Structure 1
């Protein structure tokens, strides 16, 4: 199991709210710069939707090339719930669509510095 697969599995088991912020940084960089496509079908756990939500959220950042964003979202789509939940604690509409256990807003401060074009220019594709 790769480090990214282990981290995704941990999120599926424990939820976004219970994961180390270093996991979020590692996975964001892996999705944005190393073309990681999480396989939700290979994950088992009560918080698998958190992985879908997190990955789908990262697909919306402009640092990810449009074609890679389409691939990522297409890979996630079969696992997305048919209708959003009605959880008033979720401020992000995408979190409600995924029935996530929490928003990724608390993680933005950790990952924003890595989604700039300046930062991306230094990473090989």
Structure 2
């Protein structure tokens, strides 16, 4: 009877060991245990830098943001260009919006 109990204990220990090892990554280092999954942090991308605005005769304007020529509807660094006027550019990302204005020089003659 003692022999049967001994074998049942060994069998139970082996089955627990096997089920625990099935939850681990087979490519993980020996002895490594899985911890809580790490949540991906949102990366904070800075708002693109407005370098210039160029307009054609028919009032179609293009902006240069982060060394890239963009038009309404284009995206730069995760920000969507919603409007380009001769003096400013409007960007959107999700529910937030930004207005980038050109540095206005007060040039005197």
**Which bracket does the TM-score occupy, shorter chain normalised?**
under 0.3
TM normalised by structure 1 equals: 0.21
Larger RCO of the pair (alpha carbons < 8 Å, separation 6+): 1
Query: Comparing both structures, which one devotes a greater share of its residues to helix?
Result: 1
Larger Cα Rg: Structure 1 or Structure 2? Answer: 2
